Amino acid sequence: MSLINYSSREINCKVVYYGCGLCGKTTNIKYIYSKVSPDAKGKLISLATELDRTLFFDFMPLDLGSIKGFKTRFHLYTVPGQVFYNASRKLILKGVDGVVFVADSQVERLDANLESIANLQDNLAENGFNIENIPFVIQYNKRDLPNIASVDELRAQLNKWGVPDFETVAHQGYGVFETLKEVAKKVLKNLG
C-alpha cells in the first residue's frame, strides 16, 4: 500500500526482494545502492539477526517521472532467507507494493526456491495480497555458475503465473536494473 506524503508531494512505494537464503537478494540491493546517485538515495540500513540480515534503503528514481504531480520514492527491502525467520518475512511484506522473487539458478537449490516461493504466496495471503494481483517479477540469479538449471526448467517450476522474468548475475550487475525497472513500472501502473 503506497504511502502518499502530501507535504513533500511524494508517493512512497515498497518493493521487497524475496527468496531463499544466499540466493542474491542482498547482492541485488547492494549493487543498486552502489550505482544510484548519492543525491537520489537514502541510507543503506542493515538489521542483523544471528544468522541472517535484512537490508533496506530508499531511493528516488529520477527517470520514472511523476504521477499527478507527485514524485515517486521507492523503498527496497530484502527478507531474511531462512524460513526460520518467517515472522520477520511476514512483517516486511506488510504494505508491500511490489515483489522481486530472486531464485538461485543452481540445480541443488531448486527445492529451496520452491519452498521460498510457496512461503511468499502464504505470507502475501496473510497480508491480504494475492500473488496474481500484485506487481511481481522473477529473477533467475547466479547464471554465471556451473551446474545451473535451464531458464525453461526454472520457468516451468517457479513462474506458473507467466510474470516477467530475468536472467541475472547480481554481483556483476547483469540484469539487476532491468529487473528493478520492470517491477517499478508495474508498481507505478498499479497506482494509476
Position 168 scores a pLDDT of 98
Ordered by start, the domain boundaries in the chain are: 3-191
CB burial string 54-71: b at 16+ within 10 A, e below: bbbbbbbbeeeeeeeebb
CATH superfamily of 3-191: P-loop containing nucleotide triphosphate hydrolases (3.40.50.300)
Report pLDDT for 49: 59
Q: Which pLDDT value is given to residue 43?
A: 75
Q: Give the H/E segment covering residue 33.
A: helix 25-35
pLDDT for res 63: 46
Q: Are 82 and 21 in contact (CB under 8 A)?
A: yes
Residue 64: per-residue pLDDT: 57
Residues of the chain with pLDDT under 50: 57, 62-63
